[in-house]
Structure 1
């Protein structure tokens, strides 16, 4: 069997590495439109903020491909799929036959068709999606004093925080009535907006951009700000477009595959049109859902690698629970499940706590003694506990206040290392348990970085990094006590 992978982003590169960890011999060719090594797109905001260098967010070193006999064609796009002949044709004129084709083309930035974007984005207006976008933003930010971010979702907030950290005056323009409306309820959105104001980020809500205003800068068309529907004009040296993404399905649609929002697949990630074609990541659609987070994409990559190599012929993808983590400087957030329920819903119980002055908002939505949704903003020490209860649909503890405040009544904190069972999942993105971290440590990986390299814990959204460091530190302390 020969495998051709179209797309070398977070889903495609993970799939290739998962295949090689199971089968050293199956021929694998991977095409990546971007010329550099695959990287962690989730951590681009850290690059924007100056917290991480671009070379620190790589997922696969280029030398790995040769060492593992993978034909990697970086900077080469697939332009056509011939399903009848089972051949892909690339932008460099090459063609490669396949027995199994895996499409992992991800998503593209959504650019609204308002005036100022007819001929592409003008200088100084940049979509925030790729590492190349990040480099362009950093180049434009050098010398900029004001920026407008169009879109107050997760990506927009991360971009705004990164730019504000560089001393730029930032305004977020958001169409909805509160920030991150897909993950947060209005109360949490209000607290988040207040937190951002303290960090120098203003937010215009219920606001619609109607045009990018431009001017001539030495013969170059350059953005000068945005016009709003209410008549206001916001001047800006830099405009970041974070208006959402859309699955990249043009190649699949042209090949005659079934496409709705994404490429329609079944539990084996097989196209419902063609059994020789699989699709994973943000370009795929299982049921009615297109998953836009890293953990489901990596789960799909693992399932598909198990199936195609025969490592687990019973592996199936049956959907994933979506957990959002935002961990920007001075802003910590965990949100999961159905967060928009209120006290007027007779079928659920809602627990809430808010301290807007401290930037703290906590909410748990409960049905039948199970967590069906939760928000932790500003203070996330119980995020691990809530995530485990939600992910496993486990019964709640008798002391429900401990879901918000660990250590209530003098009890030990629920998610200190000594209290976490080995079966508990620490890294949701990579499905790494405390027991796997312990086993890795016992085999000789004695630092958080070493454990991360071996287990991949904390290499997704980075939200579990402090938990990983805490467990490693606790294991070191236990060893010193034992030796003493």
Structure 2
């Protein structure tokens, strides 16, 4: 079988590694538009903030491809899919025949059609990140356009480098897809204490040399302008090939398009009416597609989304249906704005269907497990929001966590898998990461994994 993968980002590189782990015989070629090896896009905000070096976000070392007999071509975007001859054509004239084709083309930054926008730098790729860092060295003030997840992370990262930052957002509050109004306001107040001025309900009209002009004529000064206006799936290749495309490339439960020889995964794929923009669904889809391609039986039934903000000194997790009100669900909330704390539970039919946790909280692990597994919510609602006040031990204690409890959301790694890896000889977090991939996504589970390793070592009297 000749497998060709178009796209070597987080979804494409994961699919290639999953296929090779299942079947060493398949002929695999991966074609990437970017000139560098695949990297963890989730951690680019850490690079921007200076907490992580660019080389530390690499997903696969270039030597991996030769060792695993995978042909990898970097800087070779695909321009055409010829479904009649089952061949793809690249911009540099390469023709690659396929028996199975996987589209992992990802998404691209939305660039608003306003005058002077070419002066701004999108925040999407590693190349963009390097351009922003170079510009920041010679800038006095920064403006970030877009107050979604990436915009907040970019603004916090630049502020952490000592630049005064103004964050502009069209909607009435920050991260409106994940947060309700009050949570968005509390987040804005938290950012203000970290050097980020937030302006919501404003529209950028033009990018000038001296900053951004708003609708109405006001000038927001800044010699560095960063765009974080959202992303859109890259679907042109699929559409030109005659595949069904709505918002994304339409796929079924096996991640096949309407051409059974072509699959689509990650941010370019639309499953059951949903396009997922987070890493965990992309990696879940890669595992399903790899299983199907190598002759296995596995179906994708959708993903339960947990969003984690990766910004220094800002703790935020949001999951599920956070916008529901008391008319449609039981809502339990606590707000202490002076301390930047906001916690909200959304419960329907005795199940947790949504939650927001802003500010430092030891409830994240328990609530994530409840949400992910769809289990019944305990009667002590206050104990869920404030585990330390409850007389009962918390569910995410290593002693009480069931082996099926998911510790790493990005890679779908359970406590049982971490225990098994530890029993096989891994005695630290890097060892667990190498054996299970836990902590290699957004990295927010690192403390939990370290805690489990420490607990296992303590239980067995083994030096950590």
Give TM class, smaller chain: over 0.9
In structure 1, what is the Cα distance between the partners aligned to 2:169 and 2:19?
Answer: 41
Deviation at 1:437? 0.7
Q: Deviations over 1:439-467 (max 9, x none)?
A: 11111111111111211111111111111
Contact 1:333–1:380 (CA under 8 A) maintained in structure 2: no
3-state SS in 2 of match to 1:96:
strand
Partner of 2:380: 399
Partner of 1:269: 255
Deviation at 1:354? 0.8
In structure 2, what is the Cα distance between the partners aligned to 1:289 and 1:281?
Answer: 11
Contact 2:45–2:310 (CA under 8 A) maintained in structure 1: no
Deviation at 1:238? 0.4
Which residue among 279, 285, 290 is the counterpart of 2:264? 279
3-state SS in 2 of match to 1:419:
coil
Contact 2:28–2:71 (CA under 8 A) maintained in structure 1: yes
Contact 1:145–1:167 (CA under 8 A) maintained in structure 2: no
In structure 2, what is the Cα distance between the partners aligned to 1:106 and 1:24?
Answer: 26
Contact 2:383–2:390 (CA under 8 A) maintained in structure 1: no
What RMSD in Å do the two structures reach over aligned CA positions? 1.2
Contact 1:29–1:70 (CA under 8 A) maintained in structure 2: yes
Partner of 2:299: 316
Deviation at 1:32? 0.5
Partner of 2:203: 208
Partner of 1:12: 12
Q: Deviations over 1:397-420 (max 9, x none)?
A: 132222111132433333222221
Ranges in structure 1 where 5+ consecutive residues have no aligned partner:
215-223
Runs of 4+ in 1 over 4 A off after TM superposition: none
1:434 aligns with 2:378: no
Partner of 2:312: 329
Deviation at 1:195? 0.3
Partner of 2:43: 43
1:158 aligns with 2:158: no
Partner of 1:357: 338
Q: Deviations over 1:211-265 (max 9, x none)?
A: 1113xxxxxxxxx210011321011010000000010111111111111111111
In structure 2, what is the Cα distance between the partners aligned to 1:479 and 1:137?
Answer: 48
3-state SS in 2 of match to 1:407:
helix
Partner of 2:277: 292
In structure 2, what is the Cα distance between the partners aligned to 1:384 and 1:373?
Answer: 14
TM-score by length of 1: 0.94
Contact 1:448–1:468 (CA under 8 A) maintained in structure 2: yes
Which residue among 217, 234, 246 is the counterpart of 2:220? 234
1:116 aligns with 2:116: yes
**Deviates most, 401-410 or 144-153:** 401-410
In structure 1, what is the Cα distance between the partners aligned to 2:361 and 2:2?
Answer: 45
Partner of 1:461: 442
3-state SS in 2 of match to 1:243:
coil
Kindly report which structure 2 residues correspond to 1:409-448, keeping only aligned pairs within 5 A, or say none: 409-448=390-429
Q: Deviations over 1:7-30 (max 9, x none)?
A: 000000000000011000100000
In structure 2, what is the Cα distance between the partners aligned to 1:479 and 1:142?
Answer: 50
1:184 aligns with 2:167: no
In structure 2, what is the Cα distance between the partners aligned to 1:75 and 1:453?
Answer: 28
Deviation at 1:317? 0.9
Deviation at 1:46? 0.3
In structure 1, what is the Cα distance between the partners aligned to 2:355 and 2:385?
Answer: 10
Q: How many residues align?
A: 463
1:340 aligns with 2:340: no
Partner of 1:245: 231
